[in-house]
Structure 1
């Protein structure tokens, strides 16, 4: 594992890392699952974290044993309907939805000269960043429409480093979902998990909540991991 001094960039997931937009995704997917006759559970909701729109729909259909019940055209319709519900929910989004400490952390790493990119599977991420007044801090973002594979495939994090003209090994990726941690690890970047360390056990370093995410804490955790 690299030492902290070798880090030049940070790669961010959005939902559940920067803001509470994961809650809005959950509500919109729950609405759609009800319409499709698939029983919603916390387990299903957790499986959808960090996963792209069509992959999430396919997971819902598989969960309800309906994977062969719809044509691709019908699935596109339902995926778009979920997105419309989600965008409607975002109308109420503002800076109050930024998770504790994350605005300060993003501003701090920008002030210290680190490059920052967004590695979100959400096609609505530019709109969300604008609503949160955080877009100005992001040097680049990955357009999920250009990707061939979704998380846990490493493609999005490999690209997130690439758009900054950095190697993944020079970057730290932040995620709150198992699929996202696997994606970061596969790219070769350092994975920082935010959440229950028992669930995010594959993360290189872990903080239980966003308020703990500071440059100093990351440096300590990373150098301890390096020494270990």
Structure 2
């Protein structure tokens, strides 16, 4: 096989929680009197929580201490997590469940590489708590995408060389991170495909089978 392992971003690849993120950030921004819309939200894709807040604060008329930043990002996360309790297995994107099981049957190592600190909670809601061989997420990294750390650590957890791994991503920052980490990538979703940064382009999630076979 061309690859021995596949590392998946979570949000926008396995499931979609964009709207929950947007609504939670919007609530925080509204309380702070910061203009926030879908255009700003688009810049937050694949970016860590604190880095996302720094982007939002570009429109903030004032200064904020590190302690205050932690307060507001923690508040955003509590709002977001309360929304995530509505999720279930049916929230996996089309073709994901079937394709994941086919990839597992092919003997491939499967991992998650996500900047989210809520990765394990979300996987639990989707019924995938024990499915992946490794999880690299916001709880074990210090640098967010486009830095390759999250994917490099996932490969290390799998005991795989970067060249053996394929990264599946829906964000430009994630595709850049894969390249920086020495890994091929499969771009998934309109924005990712349009970027031209992926080694492969996935019109459907199930197209992965043809790439790795």
The interval holding the TM-score normalised by the smaller chain is over 0.9
Q: Matches of 1:65 and 1:86 in 2, distance apart?
A: 21
2:8 to 9, 12, 19: 12
Matched, 1:130 2:124: yes
TM-score, with normalisation over the residues of structure 2? 0.93
Residue 170 of structure 1 is matched in structure 2 by 164
TM-score, with normalisation over the residues of structure 1? 0.87
Aligned pair count reads 212
Q: Could you give the per-residue CA deviations for residues 18-69 of structure 1, whole angstroms, max 9, x where no partner exists?
A: 012222112211222222222222221111011111011011111x144x61
Matched, 1:72 2:70: no
Matched, 1:48 2:44: yes
Give the RMSD, CA atoms, in angstroms.
1.7
How much does 1:105 deviate? 1.2
Secondary structure in structure 1 of the residue aligned to 2:86: coil
Distance 1:198 1:176, change over 3 A: closer
Structure 2 unpaired stretches of 5+: none
How much does 1:168 deviate? 1.2
How much does 1:129 deviate? 0.6
- Listed as ranges, the matches of 1:176-215 within 5 Å are 176-196=170-190, 199-210=194-205, 212-215=206-209
- Listed as ranges, the matches of 1:36-185 within 5 Å are 36-62=32-58, 64-66=59-61, 69-185=63-179
CA contact (8 A) 1:101 1:213 kept: no
Q: Could you give the per-residue CA deviations for residues 175-200 of structure 1, whole angstroms, max 9, x where no partner exists?
A: 11111111111111111111125533
CA contact (8 A) 2:168 2:185 kept: yes
Distance 1:24 1:209, change over 3 A: farther
CA contact (8 A) 1:107 1:137 kept: no
